[in-house]
Amino acid sequence: MKAEQLFSIEGQVAVVTGAAAGLGRAYAEVLAANHAHVVLTDIDPGGLADAVAEIQSRGGSAEALVLDSGDRDAIGAAIDKIAAAAGRLDIVFANAGISAGPGFAFTPGGLMEQVRPEVWDRVLAVNLTGVFATIRAAAQHMKAARRGRIIVTASIAGMRAETLVGYAYSATKAAVINLVRHTAMELAPYSVTVNAIAPGPFATNIAGGRMRDPTVRERFAKLVPMQRVADPDEIKGLALLLASPASAFITGTVIPIDGGATAGS
């Protein structure tokens, strides 16, 4: 089988949450570049408009939907509406996530006793409950169709202690890794795959763009054997693999993309 068949997602319908910037935008771009129709969701209408306009300028098919991934009811309604309008739902990236602020290795504000309840609750609502709601809504349609790809953005911070990031972030990323494994077991008989991408340090807008600060980047780069922070475009190959027929027998996996950061863990 040729590569263009193995990785073909032409004509498929995809949803990417948290797609106005960063990794979510990269996911949406690679799906659209390979001829899927992509619905980008985010709470940032301006960023969504920019992302959709860029995709369309390159000949891709995309639309925007303003959506708070911390609102479980809104997530379910949105995915039901998208599937009904398109008559199918093939690929869902549960990507939306927010930072819990810097960890205690960065600042005393990251110490356990400094964690604010409202921050903890909001991070759990988006990073864990929102991911579960996205998977659950997608699964209903994919089980009926007996096909589908669900990809979750986890983090290497969920695979080991990462003291440069906040407690709620690392806790939620660890939780979604087990959620992926659990749901993969339920959905496997329906030929629906569920996998996680676990990025290391990428230059995105999370935490208000903190990773774009040269000082912050340098601290994270020191933890990476390749000695640098990645660009969001570098995640596109893995994203396409997990969204495509090439990954038909891959499910329940957590794949680091981290420049070797977890190689010695």
Catalytic residues: 169
Helices and strands, number each (H, E), in the chain: 10, 7
Residue 247's closest CA among 3, 4, 6, 20? Answer: 6
**228, burial (CB in 10 Å: exposed 0-12, middle 13-18, buried 19+):** middle
The amino acid at residue 189 is P
Dist CA 216 CA 237 (whole Å):
26
Residue 62's closest CA among 92, 84, 83, 32? Answer: 32
The answer to whether the CB of 154 falls within 8 A of the CB of 177 is yes
Instruction: List, in sequence order, the alpha helices (H) in 3-129.
Output: 3-6, 22-33, 45-57, 72-86, 117-124
Give the 3-state secondary structure of 180-238.
HHHHHHHHHHHCEEEEEEEECCECCCHHHHHHHCHHHHHHHHCCCCCCCCECHHHHHHH
